[in-house]
Structure 1
Amino acid sequence: MARQEFSVADIAKALGAEAFGETALKIDGVAEPQSAAPTQLAMATNAEYAEKLGQGQAVAAVLWPGADWSALGLKAAIIPTRPRYAMSGLTQLLDPGQGFAPGIHPSAIIDPSAEIGANVAIGALTVIGPGAVIGANSTIGPQCFIGWNARLGSNAMLREQVSIGARVTIGAHFHAQPGVRIGGDGFSFVTEDKSGIEAVRETLGDPQDTQAQGWTRIHSLGAVTIGDHVDLGACVNIDNGTIRDTRIGDGCKMDNFVHIGHNVIIGKDCLICGHSGVAGSTVVGDNVVLGGMTGVSDNIFIGDRVITGGGTKVLSSIPAGRVVLGYPATRMDKQIDIFKAVRRLPRLVMDVAELKKAVFKSGGSD
């Protein structure tokens, strides 16, 4: 299939940017400056990247405000106000998609009671359960599963092998990468008598509190509710709530291998990076960023606009607007001081040992 082409002028208009030079030139893709072909738009969004234009064959590029495009030997240029933000519109415009065929594949299994909106594509070996609702203009990739009474809003894009459990409700413009799992039971188990875990929470680790016990499942009566414009990376898992739904707010974005536990509430426009996990019944505010491999304890609160650095372990609530790092999470500036002090510890130990020797030799211990 031939690649779609756009003129430099058309691309600039779509991005709300200015176009210069031979704006009728046709573009069929984007590339880094050093590897760009003549029909590709080079992403030379700062002076450092622009130095590599000579290594490639680009005749048109996306540049930064104030750049002298003609001095760079280009025939045309697009200069947006914020080049990094322009990447979102540019990649959307030139995305070739996944090649999923339109219509419903004959191997798909769709319960007669399911409601399928207009212009929905359903891939091979996908199963749509009873009472499920699929919004208009959605694409359901191959080998997906949508359970009993699940509801999926319009303009959804489900890549291959996405699973949406019973009673899950998802808003419009949902995007799920391969292997997403929504609506599994929460990790909820209880012992007949007071468990060692409960006792340890109270005593902070008295070894006499632990004992051998069996575990009984607490079933998940809640489901998952997800807002509009939510994007989930590959293998994201979101568990059902125990009594009420686990909730994900509008505009949230989650990277690969994120796990959201039962009863968690995530606010709007949160960014949760890879391998992060939020334990049960925790509430996360709006516009929160959790860096990669952040771990958040259960039953705590994270305020609006909090940012955690990579590898942070959050064991207690964090007020709004704070930037934290480390294990346990501490204000980032203080944690960096701690890191520096830890690096100096070996030398400090050596210095103390030398001082002790000097004191003992001088008889100062008397």
Structure 2
Amino acid sequence: MASYSISEINNIIKGELIGNTTLSIESPEEIQKANSNQITFIGSNKYVKFWAESKACAAFIDYNVTISPGDNRAFIKVKNVDLAMAKVLDLFNLPSPVFDTNIHPTAVIHETAKIGTDCKIGANCYIGKDVELGNGVVLYPNVCVFDETIIGNNTIVWSGTIIRERCIIGSHCIFHTNVSIGADGFGYRPSEDGRQLVKIPQIGNVIIGNYVEIGANSCVDRAKFSSTIIGDGCKIDNLVQIAHNSIMGRSCIMAGHSGLAGSVTLGDGVIIGGSASIKDHTTIHSGATVGAGSGVMNDVEAGKTVLGYPAQDARDMLKEWVAVRRLVKNQ
């Protein structure tokens, strides 16, 4: 088990060390659960009250927090507690599962597939015709990559994920368990006699940029024509739906249970809160935020925060909720 002194950790974080502790630090933990060999964090004055009872020997604290650490305890004062904790979590991060052999003998790889150097392909994987894997790609057991798909260098695909034909995946991506990339978009129209639904063929593909991470059980559907596109650096939570022909700009965030209907466009840096839903053919411009549980029915201006169902300017929505609450109380 790895352990570090408070000085060693501060040399990595480069914060302001306040106080000292002789105890070794063996892992990070929440302030109320930590033991004497753990480091915790105090991101705001809201959590100061827990420090006196905490057993942690050290903590990262925000510059606005002014308490003293106490005997044989230490603080590392930083500008961003979350980023400091991310570095420490990385120090104690356990290694990924080990491959006994780079390509498992049960993997089925089409003879036309091109496999880069240092790739790892787990048990029962399927790699189809004319697939191209870049260098250092990792496919954990039971991954399927169908025909003519291209995956860039150092992308990691966890078990149960299916990547359909003709998709283009960038480098340094992470797809967690049971992700679906490139399934048919949801397209149906009533038949002429009105007695059944006619399926509209989905002949496009999915294009995903570099450094994209997609959480477990999320779906990115292929386009009806052209491409569904996810830009570089996007981070997508578990159980997220991205429908056909949607386009996400760079570094967008989508929290769990949120969804884009068909042909939605997100600018750069858009944040979609958990369980929010976005109507088809809607544009949310760069830097906008959609609050959790909201339903967006119209375009959203750049940098604006919207909330509610239907979504509107967050300040107006909050005023409306306050007014409704007052009406209820006065009845």
TM > 0.5 between the two? yes
Uncovered stretches (5+) of structure 1, i.e. residues with no partner? 194-210, 351-366
Gaps of 5+ in 2: none
The residue aligned with 1:173 is: 172
Question: What is the RMSD computed on CA atoms of the aligned residues?
Answer: 2.7
Secondary structure of residue in 1 paired with 2:62:
coil
Deviation at 1:25, TM superposition (A): 6.4
Deviation at 1:171, TM superposition (A): 1.1
Deviation, structure 1 residue 246: 0.2
Write the mapping of 1:102-251 to structure 2, written as runs, cut at 5 A.
Answer: 103-193=102-192, 212-251=194-233
How big is the shift at 1:32? 1.7
SS in 1 for 2:90: helix
Within the candidate set 298, 320, 338, 2:280 is matched to 298
Report the Cα offset of residue 192 of structure 1. 4.3
Distance 2:41 2:329 in 1: 47
Deviation at 1:26, TM superposition (A): 4.6
Matches within 5 A, 1:301-316: 301-316=283-298
Name the SS for the 1:78 alignment partner: strand
Does the Cα contact within 8 Å between 2:109 and 2:128 map onto a contact in 1? yes
> d(CA) in 2 for partners of 1:44 and 1:340?
31
Percent of residue pairs identical: 32
Structure-2 change in CA distance of 1:299 and 1:46 (3 Å): closer
Deviation at 1:75, TM superposition (A): 4.7
Larger-gyration structure (1/2):
1
Q: What is the TM-score of this pair, normalised by structure 1? A: 0.80
Query: TM-score of the superposition, structure 2-length normalised?
Result: 0.88
Indicate the residue corresponding to 1:95 in structure 2.
Answer: 93
Distance in 2 (CA, whole Å) between partners of 1:138 and 1:22 is 43
Is the counterpart of residue 322 in structure 1 residue 322 in structure 2?
A: no
| 1:284-331, Cα deviation, whole Å (9 max, x unpaired) | 111111111111111121111111111111112122122111111111
In structure 2, the CA distance between the partners of 1:342 and 1:69, relative to structure 1 (3 Å rule), is: closer
Shift of 1:156: 1.8
Q: Is 1:281 the counterpart of 2:263 in the alignment?
A: yes
- The answer as to whether partners of 1:274 and 1:292 remain within 8 angstroms in 2 is yes
Q: In 1, Cα distance between the equivalents of 2:212 and 2:104? A: 26
What are the superposed Cα offsets for residues 167-218 of structure 1, whole Å, 9 maximum, x if unpaired?
111111211221111110111123444xxxxxxxxxxxxxxxxx84322222
Q: 2: CA distance between counterparts of 1:340 and 1:233?
A: 35
* Alpha-carbon offset, residue 23 of structure 1: 8.5
Deviation by residue 1:324-362 (Cα, 9 ceiling, x = unmatched): 1111111111112222333344567x6xxxxxxxxxxxx
Cα shift readout 1:24-64 (whole Å, capped 9, x = no counterpart): 96533211233323433223444554543454543333233
| Cα 1:145–1:6 shift into 2, 3 Å | farther
Q: Conserved in 2, the CA contact under 8 Å of 1:304 and 1:321?
A: yes
- 3-state SS, counterpart of residue 85 of structure 2: helix
Partner of 2:83: 85
Q: Which amino acid aligns with 1:127?
A: Y
More helix by share: 1
**1:18 CA drift (Å):** 4.5
The 1:107–1:12 alpha-carbon spacing in structure 2 relative to 1, beyond 3 Å, is: farther
Take 2:229 and 2:95, find their aligned partners in 1: how far apart are those partners?
29
Are the counterparts in 2 of residues 185 and 240 from structure 1 also a CA contact under 8 Å?
A: yes
Write the distance in 2 (CA, Å) between the matches of 1:75 and 1:344.
Answer: 48
**Of the candidates 29, 45, 49, which is equivalent to residue 27 of structure 2?**
29
Q: SS of 1:247's equivalent?
A: strand
Q: Distance in 2 between matches of 1:347 and 1:29?
A: 49
- Cα distance in structure 1, aligned partners of 2:312 and 2:197: 35
